Amino acid sequence: MQLGLVGLGKMGGNMRERIRRAGHTVVGYDRNPEVTDVKDLAELVEKLQAPRVVWVMVPAGPVTQSVVDELGGLLEAGDVVVDGGNSRWTDDEKHAEQLGAKGIGFVDAGVSGGVWGLQNGYALMVGGDKEHVERLQPIFEALKPEGPYGYVHAGKVGAGHFSKMVHNGIEYAMMQAYAEGWELLEKVDSVTDVREVFRSWQDGTVIRSWLLDLAVHALDADEHLDKLKGFAEDSGEGRWTVEAAIDNAVPLPAITASLFARFASRQDDSPQMKMVAALRNQFGGHAVESKE
């Protein structure tokens, strides 16, 4: 299968490689001349055979809107655009209507896997019409982890990104719980090897998880996280999750508190946020701030 892929950063570049390893043809475009396959979007569309599929992996908001606008002028009826970035689900509905007026299909795909996705595969939460989703099935199969799990057609347009947003909200709360436990263990005199306590939880406990494995990995590199500042950004999806909870009158105390904790991290050097920052760097390659 042929695929156009727009955005070849940490996620998009690895996705291009994984799809190619599965035997598909990928024509990638990025503003970085060192990684791009074509000089612009027009050349990307020109190199694809109709009906075309173009997957967009660029930052949410104005950048995604700009790419959708340009693709809307280049593609033809019967083509399909996939937004695999972290767009807000309400933007998906707008983009589907915008492209649908020209006969172009639209699919939203929440993608999880971070910098480890090339090796382990990407969890995919997809929204859109059945006919458009089915056309993309070979690409979804190439990207997802091996085995029966890691992919879902979650519902209509917007369902993929809404599901990914909730996933990220849960992720916020889980990281915060590990971070609070780590700080408490570090605080008391009786526990002399916090890193090994975390390591002991990796087998046979109810709180074992990939995030716990990554926490141990981070502590192996910097046992007391002395090299990090207690500062953690938020991607925006935590805020959207809390806003959706308010709109739907659903109580989310743990997720909401974890979002507010990140706000607190920007006021002082928070020990808990050192762990959250370390975890975000481990699974997603997100930047950290060093004390130096």
Instruction: Please write the tens of the pLDDT for every residue from 234-273.
Output: 878 899 999 999 999 999 999 999 999 888 877 766 778 7
**pLDDT the model gives residue 39:** 97
**pLDDT the model gives residue 114:** 83
**pLDDT the model gives residue 292:** 61
Phi, psi of 290 (to 5 degrees): -90, 155
pLDDT band at 3 (very low <50, low <70, confident <90, very high): very high
Active site residues: 164, 171
Q: What angle do CA 29, 34, 40 make, to 5 degrees?
A: 30
Phi, psi of 25 (to 5 degrees): -95, 125
Please give the domain boundaries of the chain with CATH numbers for all domains.
2-156 (3.40.50.720), 165-271 (1.10.1040.10)
The H or E element that residue 172 is part of is: helix 159-187
pTM to 2 decimal places: 0.87
Phi, psi of 5 (to 5 degrees): -130, 120
User: Alpha-carbon distance 106 to 33, whole Å?
Assistant: 28
Q: In sequence order, what are the beta bridge partners of 157?
A: none
* Torsion angle in degrees (nearest 10) through CA of 120, 108, 11, 149: -10
Instruction: Please write the tens of the pLDDT for every residue from 272-292.
Output: 878 888 898 888 777 767 766
Tokens 């910097």 — which residue?
Answer: 222
Q: Which residues contact 24 (CB under 8 A, 6 or more apart)?
A: 1, 2, 3, 138, 139, 142
Average pLDDT over all residues of the chain: 94
User: Alpha-carbon distance 48 to 44, whole Å?
Assistant: 7
Tokens of 284: 């997603």
Q: What is the CA 143 to chain-centroid distance, rounded? A: 13
Instruction: Please write the tens of the pLDDT for every residue from 134-181.
Output: 999 999 999 999 999 999 999 999 999 999 999 999 999 999 999 999
Q: DSSP secondary-structure letter at 116?
A: G
**pLDDT the model gives residue 268:** 64
Instruction: Please write the tens of the pLDDT for every residue from 18-50.
Output: 999 999 999 999 999 999 999 999 999 999 999
Rg (CA), the chain: 20
**pLDDT the model gives residue 266:** 79
**pLDDT the model gives residue 291:** 67
